[in-house]
Chains A and B, each alone.
Chain A
Amino acid sequence: MTSDLREIKGVSPWLQTNWDARAAGNFIGGGTGAGLLAAAAFHGLAPISLFSFVGLAFIGLGLLCVWLEIGRPWRAINVFFHPQTSWMTREGLVAIPLFALGGFALLFDSRLAMMAAALVGLFYLYCQARIVSASKGIPAWRHPALIPVMLVMGLAEGVGVSLLLAPGQLALPALILLGVRYGLWRRYLSRLQADGAPVGTIKVFAASHKPYLILGHILPALLIGGAGFSESSWLSMLGGLLMTTSGWWVKLILITKAAYNQGFLVPRVPVRGQGKPGAPVKPGWV
């Protein structure tokens, strides 16, 4: 196979336009909501009604985004028809007990229901990660190293919001998650590059890497760590805000800017006349 960095219009990978910011909104809302429910349930944050309400609101807004994106919104019920193989169907099915349990926790201030909702929420988050990775037409999405990235991003965004709602708490988990999130992101990028990816995808990630490191990890870590020493709720909240919004920004980039498709390749350059066949050519790939 001959990789060719040159771009050939209509042949080299190009940016997909089927999923836009509304699709990204589903992953942003779903991840943040599920992460917040988990953070609140497993750390015993109170009041339960507040955290369950905000968590469900994020998930609901995400689902609203995707509902606004589909071409036939009044047929949305059909999304439940294919649980055998479709992670989108599974996401929809899991949302039902998630809202039921979260709603119960919200109405009755039930710690047990909150725990159950958090567990279901983690599976909801997993479904979302698998939705992205099943997108075989987008090399940046289908890479298996993206699954843990999506999971930890959701948890980190949820913990970031919990720092806004309950400043000063969950500082240590937040710092750990920041470290893990950055480590997994680096691992994903290096594996993606090693396994081959469209030039456009690599360029977009390269351009966003430094801001993500500084604004999304170093600065929030300093703010959250500093808040622990100074007991400043403002520092903690600002750190949480950066932790969350930086994750949202990267998800937006992942879905709308780095999502170059597979493109085409010439399986073998054919024989013409007395000439010889040529090697396969795959333009626009690293």
Chain B
Amino acid sequence: MTKYVLVADLRRCVGCQTCTAACKNSNATAPGIQWRKVLDVETGTYPDVRRTFLPVGCMHCDDPPCMTVCPSTATKKRDDGIVIIDYDLCIGCAYCAVACPYQARFKIKDRLSAYGADAGEMTHEAARFDPALIGVAQKCTFCADRIDEGLAQGLVPGKDWQATPACVNSCISSALQFGDLDDKDSAVSRLLAENQSSRMHEELGTGPNIYYIWDDAP
């Protein structure tokens, strides 16, 4: 079996948001929609203050609540663990959005452009506009199209950049890694074996598949 996961090494992330930009560029998401983003979290009290950069997005959960509640079966989980949305089935009820504890789902009602309606669309916005995304749920796909295309060419997701999500490819500090958790030799498997990691809101039982590394293994 194959189980794709994302590993974010919080010790390495510098909060540059290059992954955010790469995702927007790769997926042509509308203004205000960020399938991948990095939170800047300041915690503690002076003088013991910490700053953590936290990449977030769809966790492609083992037991995705978005899929359970979806009345139209638009949300599906592939055999490789990636959670996808069939935009032609989705009715845009946003039930998945309120069921997701990771705030990873979005819905836009209208066609938007970065500089507003008066300024009009930029050339690339007009060229890449997808009407199928209006009024329906959307979220990170782990760049499933890149993965599928890469696999068809015999490439390995997480190892060959052509078959790897755009956010991971763009990461300047290699904080983001992607790969198959069921492959013991994959980079993600080795990273998780050699380091201590946690996942977001694990107590909710969704089985999120973004792992956050925070220290070496003891």
Contact = CB atoms under 8 A, between A and B. Distances in A.
B136 A71 contact: yes
B100 A137 contact: yes
A268 B214 contact: yes
B135 interface: yes
A264 B57 CA distance: 11
Contact of A82 (B72, B199, B206): B72
Contacts of A259: 98
Nearest to A259: B98
A150 to B, nearest CB: 15
Interface stretch (B38-46, B122-130, B157-165, B166-174): B38-46
B90 to A, nearest CB: 7
Interface in B161-218: 196, 198-201, 204, 206, 212-216
B99 A78 contact: no
A71 B134 contact: yes
B214 A269 contact: yes
B21 interface: no
A267 interface: yes
B107 A82 contact: no
B56 A135 contact: no
A72 B39 contact: no
Contacts of A75: 72, 89-91
A261 B72 CA distance: 23
Interface string A48-76: 00000000000000000010011111011
A137 B52 contact: no
Interface in B16-44: 39, 41-44
A89 B71 contact: yes
Contact of B103 (A262, A270, A272): A262
Given A266-B52, A268-B214, A136 B206 contact: yes
Given A71-B136, A136-B101, A88 B39 contact: no
A87 B68 CA distance: 9
Nearest to A88: B71
Contacts of B93: 66, 69-71, 79, 88
Contacts of B71: 78-82, 86, 88-89, 92
A138 B54 CA distance: 21
B207 to A, nearest CB: 12
Prevailing SS type, chain A contact patch: loop
Interface in B100-130: 100-103, 107, 109
A66 B91 CA distance: 11
B20 to A, nearest CB: 12
B214 A79 contact: no
A85 interface: yes
Contact of A136 (B54, B65, B107, B136): B65
A11 B107 contact: no
A137 B98 contact: yes
Contacts of A270: 9-11, 52, 212-215
Contacts of B216: 271
Nearest to A273: B11
B201 A262 contact: yes
Contacts of B213: 270
Contacts of A274: none
Given A18-B94, A135-B99, A137-B99, A87 B69 contact: yes
A264 B98 contact: no
A185 to B, nearest CB: 21
A71 B94 contact: yes
A144 to B, nearest CB: 13
B2 interface: no
A94 B64 CA distance: 25
A262 B102 contact: yes
Contacts of B70: 82, 86
A280 B202 CA distance: 12
B204 A136 contact: yes
Nearest to A66: B93
Given A72-B135, A75-B72, A271-B11, 18 more contacts: A70-B92, A72-B90, A76-B91, A81-B73, A88-B95, A134-B68, A137-B97, A138-B98, A264-B102, A264-B200, A266-B41, A267-B200, A267-B212, A268-B198, A270-B52, A272-B50, A278-B50, A281-B43
Give 3 closest A-B pairs by Cβ, nearest first. A71-B92, A71-B135, A267-B198
